[in-house]
Structure 1
Amino acid sequence: MRKLNVFLILFLFLFISCTKEPIKKSEIKEEKLISQVVEAYEEGMKALKAGDVLFAALKFNEAEILFPQSSWAPRSALMASYSYYSQDYYLDAIAELERFLRIYPKHKNIDYAYYLLSLCYYEQIVDEKKDLKSITKSKQYFAYILENFPNSDYAKDVNFKINYIDDILASKEMYIGRYYLERKKWIPAINRFKNILDYYDTTIYVEEALYRLVEVYYLLGLEQEAKKYAQLLGYNYQSSYWYKKSYSFFDKLYSENYKLMQKDKNKKTNKIIKKFKSIFD
């Protein structure tokens, strides 16, 4: 029995000493990896500050790959994205950010990733007639931020940018609507102007859209519809230029009627004068 106890104690001692060795080696290896990660990350930061964004992104990617299970990995991935974004390498930044969203969907800075992705599209907007993909994508991601992260630090700026994007989209609708109006394509013109009322009712183009609907319906002879939009314009923008301009259609109608009445009156007067002259002829 005594021999058995001694054997058990010896076995436990050997087992503990054996298990400690791999743990110790694992800890040393992990510390070494973290040291390498931090070194690569700091080199990336140094390159970024110096303006060498491509080398910076390379170092941040290296830091992520060295220890993908560490907390440094997602931070490095975001910094690689920002490096590309900072010097307008938008396609590279977008690719990095889309990868980040796939790999780290629960990261604490996920709202920043969406915000940076939105900016990559937003800052490619140059011409509303050409950059439709950039416009729609940026709005899509900005809207996602407001819906899912309403208390985010970026929410205020996102609201501002969405309003700007809506102005761009409304101006596009107005441009196309005017184009159809000039070519007397009434239905497509009406649809474009109504799109502004339905989807971009906070933009500066609402007043003109209402006026254009008054104009189209008046030209089509649909006076009741024209009056309806004129009243809506008057109710919301009574002192505006477009409101006063809208009623020029109806004033024009009244003035034309008045001119016709005056013309008939003058004709009657002329007939009386002619008759009067004929008496003395």
Structure 2
Amino acid sequence: MKLINLFLILFITLSLISCSKDKVQKSTIEQKSLELQVLEAYEEGIESLKKNDVLYAAKKFNEAETLFPQSTTAPKAALMAAYSYYSQDYYEDAIGELQRFIKVYPFHKNIDYAHYLLGLSWYEQIIDEKKDLQTILKAKEEFLLIIEKYPETEYALDAEFKIDLINDTLASKEMYIGRYYFKKKKWISAINRFKTVVNEYETTIYTEEALHRLVEVYYTIGLEVEAKKYAKLLGYNYQSSQWYERSYMVFNKMYEKNKIKFEKDKKNKNKFLKKFKSLFNLDE
């Protein structure tokens, strides 16, 4: 009886080992086949991208990622799908892919590039500073993140340049609204807009005009001390600019009138001298 039981146990054990080997072998074959499928999908995506068939390329890259999410090719495929969309101006699709990439692969070695491409995808959609405020702010947010977290990368250098352009755009928007309020005699609203330019976008090309507009507004509402303060600031930093000359004229209402009168008097004086000299001309 014991001999029969021993034989039975030995038979079952050998059967299990055989099944286990079959499973391992089958699993290995399936895994190799899966990796091959991933590689084929990825390479097909690359070929389609070269042919500018970006939608099919993105589809194949997504397929490569989905087939084997644990593979080293998966994050690379996800990033290539985003680039495919970006390369042909499908910015919304690119943004969707990049946001997912950043969430799923936060520690990937190319995460800095993902943020940079995301910033560009927002930036390329800026058309009208009067309407695209969300797009502008999203782009600026990504570029600031790159400068803060990846300052030594090549992306940080371009991000700084892009932020300068974005600040010019934002300052332009503030000036546009400020001028509108000024025309409508909404003084406080106008002041707030012009001050935003001076305080937050002081390195932009609109700072000089913003200072001049503050001089205009404060002088108009009778706050001459405040007007002189901003005129002095404008003169100290931009004395040779046209905006400083305009601010000077705000405080000298008779400046233009006197200038015309002076030119007229000078002309008349020259005529008189010429006539007077002719009286003593010996040749006549």
Give the TM-score band, short-chain normalised: 0.7 to 0.9
Equivalent positions of 1:1-281 (< 5 A) are 22-252=23-253
Paired letter, 2:41: A
Residue 78 of structure 1, CA deviation: 0.6
CA contact (8 A) 2:58 2:85 kept: yes
Q: Which SS does the other structure have where 1:154 is aligned?
A: helix
Paired letter, 2:31: E
* Alpha-carbon distance between aligned partners in 1 of 2:244 and 2:14, rounded to the nearest angstrom: 94
Residue 127 of structure 1, CA deviation: 0.8
Change in 2 beyond 3 A, CA 1:65/1:236: same
| Correspondence for 1:270 | none
Residue 23 of structure 1, CA deviation: 4.1
Deviations 1:211-255 (A, max 9, x none): 100111111111111111011111111211111221112232678
* Alpha-carbon distance between aligned partners in 2 of 1:110 and 1:225, rounded to the nearest angstrom: 49
User: Percent identity between the aligned chains?
Assistant: 64
Residue 82 of structure 1, CA deviation: 0.8
* Alpha-carbon distance between aligned partners in 2 of 1:255 and 1:239, rounded to the nearest angstrom: 18
Q: Which SS does the other structure have where 2:130 is aligned?
A: coil
Deviations 1:70-90 (A, max 9, x none): 010000001111111111111
Gaps of 5+ in 2: 1-6, 259-284
CA contact (8 A) 2:140 2:166 kept: yes
Query: What is the number of equivalent residue pairs in this alignment?
Result: 253
* Alpha-carbon distance between aligned partners in 2 of 1:86 and 1:251, rounded to the nearest angstrom: 57
Gaps of 5+ in 1: 1-6, 258-281
* Alpha-carbon distance between aligned partners in 2 of 1:169 and 1:35, rounded to the nearest angstrom: 50
Deviations 1:58-117 (A, max 9, x none): 100110011100010000001111111111111111111111111111111111111111
RMSD: 2.6
Normalised to the residue count of structure 1, the TM-score between the two structures is 0.82
* Alpha-carbon distance between aligned partners in 1 of 2:104 and 2:24, rounded to the nearest angstrom: 28
Deviations 1:3-22 (A, max 9, x none): xxxx9xxx999998776654
* Alpha-carbon distance between aligned partners in 1 of 2:104 and 2:199, rounded to the nearest angstrom: 38
